[in-house]
Amino acid sequence: MTDQVFDIVVDDQQIEATMVVPQTLIPGVLFIHGWGVDRETYLNRAREIAALGCICLLFDMRGHAATVDQRDEVTREDNLNDVIAAYDQLAAHPLVDPAAIAVVGSSYGGYLAAVLTAVRPIRWLGMRVPALYKDEDWFIPKQELRDHGLEEFRLGQVSAQENRALGACAAFKGDVLLVKSGCDEVIPDPVIRNYLAALGGVRSLTFRVIEGADHALSDLPWQQSYASLLLGWVNEMVISAREDGTALDTRVGLAPSLRREPANPA
């Protein structure tokens, strides 16, 4: 809310008045799905977040849904361009505050969300089980990456200086939610440790583990735990932004802080 103070002219006099006006611009949330699924994965969560007073955008990256016939050819460059185009569409919405945009992604989508922070202004970054890939294979079709030593790469220690996604995380100065599956059969623990190490300079970091969960959150209780975590985090971020009432520069001017919360989701 903003207070607008002005005078009302009546009978050749002026009386003072205050008009309380709701903010005309609201946060935007961009959802990036993982490899092999589509935008429907996040639809229910997006509806819950929209109820908080946000505009949410979901989209299907090339190689999925209507363009699944491109699955074998699409590269990370193609999908990053998809993500950028979707971001630009959301940021151009007349009701969206361009200084209050969140991006939320899972697995491959979490990786692309991290990379996006280096090329577009992002205030909040939510990543669930973010994947990690070698930079040198950037233009190789995504479907072929496992044939290029990907599993071995993910077991090693990778620094922010060596990797595009981790480097973007190291430069990011906003707020982060990072969620790990306790029994992830796709993303091993070293990948999550690499992300945590890269995120040391963010404004705040909420790190949670969904105990017993697999990569895809195949059981309903795991899905509900993640939905609760995501909704609570977005609600906290949006309320904090509204109480602050000022735009956040996601690139400079933020005092680095780190908040690590208990690993057992409520």
Instruction: Say what the pLDDT of residue 9 is.
Output: 85
pTM for this model (two decimals): 0.85
pLDDT category of residue 258 using cuts at 50, 70 and 90: very low
- As a whole number of angstroms, the distance between CA 71 and CA 73 comes to 6
Residue where the block lists tokens 């190490």? 197
**pLDDT, average across residues 162-166:** 98
- As a whole number of angstroms, the distance between CA 8 and CA 27 comes to 33
How much is the mean pLDDT over the chain?
88
**pLDDT, average across residues 52-60:** 92
Q: Among 3.40.50.300, 3.40.50.1820, 3.40.50.800, 3.40.50.620, name the CATH number for the domain at 25-244.
A: 3.40.50.1820
Strand 55-58 vs strand 26-32: parallel, antiparallel, or unpaired? parallel
**pLDDT, average across residues 227-243:** 90
Q: List, as own/partner pairs, every contact residues 2-6 make where C-beta atoms lie below 8 angstroms and the sequence separation is at least 24, other chains included.
A: 2/245
Tens of pLDDT, residue by residue over 2-54, are 777 888 888 887 878 887 766 678 899 999 999 999 898 899 999 999 999 89
Tens of pLDDT, residue by residue over 69-124, are 999 999 999 999 999 999 999 999 988 999 999 999 999 999 999 999 999 999 99
Strand 2-10 vs strand 26-32: parallel, antiparallel, or unpaired? unpaired
Instruction: Say what the pLDDT of residue 201 is.
Output: 97
Residue of higher predicted confidence among 75 and 254? 75
- As a whole number of angstroms, the distance between CA 153 and CA 157 comes to 8
Q: What angle do CA 108, 112, 113 make, to 5 degrees?
A: 115
Is residue 249 pLDDT above 60, yes or no?
Answer: no
- As a whole number of angstroms, the distance between CA 197 and CA 186 comes to 20
**Which residues share a beta bridge with 56?**
29
